[in-house]
Amino acid sequence: MCAIGADGGQADGADSVVGPGSTQGISAAGRAEPGGFTSTLQTQLQKINEINARAGKLTVAYERGEEVDIAKVMLARQESSIAFEATLQVRNKLLSAYKDIMSMPV
């Protein structure tokens, strides 16, 4: 895949256009690259999902009567709650930014 250069021709060996006004992490075709915003967001959502799953497993183990420290259970649940609230705040900010951008006159 080749990118279009500033002169209208193809840039030699360039997979993405990086310069003033362009975003790193987005290829010339508009697909997210491994270090981009999309992959970072997906990675963080996976981590939050793992935190929630771990808190759920500890809670279930405690409810079954297994030997689990109540402090670990409460700490895991609080960590899960904070991670979820932070995710909601990021989502709200992203939606707000999207609405602001869409309402801008062209």
Distances in Å between the Cα of 76 and the Cα atoms of 2, 6, 61 are 48, 52, 13
Mean pLDDT of the chain: 79
44-62 mean pLDDT: 95
Three-state DSSP state, 4: strand
User: Which pLDDT belongs to residue 10?
Assistant: 43
The residue that leads in pLDDT, 74 or 18, is 74
Domain boundaries, the chain: 1-33, 37-102
Is the Cα torsion angle 81, 85, 86, 90 positive or negative in sign?
positive
**To 10 degrees, the CA torsion angle through 77, 79, 83, 86?**
110
Quickly tell me which residue has 């959502």 as its tokens: 45
Say whether pTM exceeds 0.75. no
Residues 19, 35, 21: CA angle, nearest 5 degrees: 20
Report the percentage of the chain scoring pLDDT > 70.
Answer: 68
In this predicted structure, the answer to whether residue 49 has a pLDDT above a threshold of 80 is: yes
